[in-house]
Amino acid sequence: MSNIKTLEYQIQNTENKEEMHIRISENISGQMYLVHKAFKQQLTNNRIRNAHTKTRKDVRGGGKKPWKQKGTGRARAGSNRSPLWNGGGVIFGPKNKTYKSKLNRKENRLAINTLIYNKFKNTIIVESLTTKLDKPNTKTAIRAIEQTGIKLNKKEKILIALDKQNNNLYLSLRNIRNIEIIEINNINILSLLKADTILLTYKALRKLKSFTEK
């Protein structure tokens, strides 16, 4: 079950302090199980099993029969790469595996809309973050973030969503552990759930609106 909710955001402009507003309508789910379902789907798709053992066909060597079949008094042996031998293959060992879980596109968008609605009070919209960032500079980037009213501390996790990739901003903030920068097209459940504060640019919000309405 879903319903339409209207959100009105105030757009901050740190240059001339003009107040602007934007309204967007979100189709949200009244049941949080859908968010949990999308969360589990993303965790499953991120899971990779790297453990990998070699069977007797993968182990190098073992092409020659160690000794003849009969007459030696020893047990029969066809290869020194047998799992019974030291240095041989492994029986039923773990293999590389990629886990996949499917979620309908409409369900995923509904879950994202629901989280955006629930985090409305912790969302800040700015006209731009990179106006004065001509080159990578951590102090300038932090100053631009603090001008929006966000107080940087190690405990609060901040999600910054941009309309397109910006290398200067990424290089400026990549060493700050509690800040995540993401392109709005790659918005996902895990990033939204982890964020205590969400910082969106105006263009990113417009792009998000068109993305969630498809």
Q: What is the pLDDT of residues 62-116, one digit of tens each?
A: 888 999 999 999 999 999 999 999 989 999 999 998 899 999 988 888 888 888 8
Residue 13 Cα distances to 71, 108, 145, 190, angstroms: 92, 32, 12, 29
pTM of the model: 0.77
What are the boundaries of each domain within the chain? 2-47+100-212, 51-98
Strand partners for 37: none
- Given strand 179-183, what is the order of strands in its sheet? 20-29, 2-12, 123-126, 197-201, 158-162, 179-183
Q: How do residues 50-74 score in pLDDT, each as one tens digit?
A: 999 999 989 988 888 999 999 999 9
How much is the CA Rg of the chain, to the nearest whole Å? 27
Q: How do residues 156-194 score in pLDDT, each as one tens digit?
A: 899 999 988 889 999 999 988 899 999 999 999 999 999
Determine the topology of domain 2-47+100-212 in CATH. Ribosomal Protein L4; Chain: A; (3.40.1370)
Closest listed residue to residue 212, CA positions, set 2, 13, 9, 24? 24
